[in-house]
Amino acid sequence: MLCTILDPVNGYLLTKVEGKVGSPEKPLSDLGLISYRSYWKDVLLSYLCTRPGTTLSVKDISQEMAIHSYDIVSTLQALGMMKYWKGKHIILKKQDVLDEYIERVNRRGSLLKQVDVACLKWTPPQSQASV
């Protein structure tokens, strides 16, 4: 079986295996931001489409997706899915945005390459402190 790892997916996959949260080096170029924002948007919208319930936490999403909370918040803001209300930031599950995402995923169908996590044969490096 041939396994393909594509950027920025590969960095987040490795970070997730390490049990850490990642973010690209800043500042990002305009094209770098477009690339990462596209990835973050797909991951977040997929997560929001499949996650049951009404309570969401940026911290929980960050841990589960291995994406830094700053990147999650900036992406949600760019999607118009985060508001400041009564002294708190709230994530809005905007159905029109989710429906548009589902439609886009259905249109691109099998063109989207998925990383097969089972193909990852990598062990995180041991830090000096834990050796």
Which of 25, 64, 100, 103 is catalytic? The answer is 25
Strand partners, 90: 83
Show Cβ contacts of residue 48 under 8 Å, excluding neighbours closer than 6 positions.
56, 93, 98
Q: For the chain, report the end-to-end CA distance as a whole number of angstroms.
A: 35
Q: Are 12 and 117 in contact (CB under 8 A)?
A: no
> Is 18 designated active site?
no
Vertex 8, ends 6 and 14: CA angle to 5°?
85
Are 70 and 108 within 8 A, CB to CB? no
| Residues labelled catalytic | 25
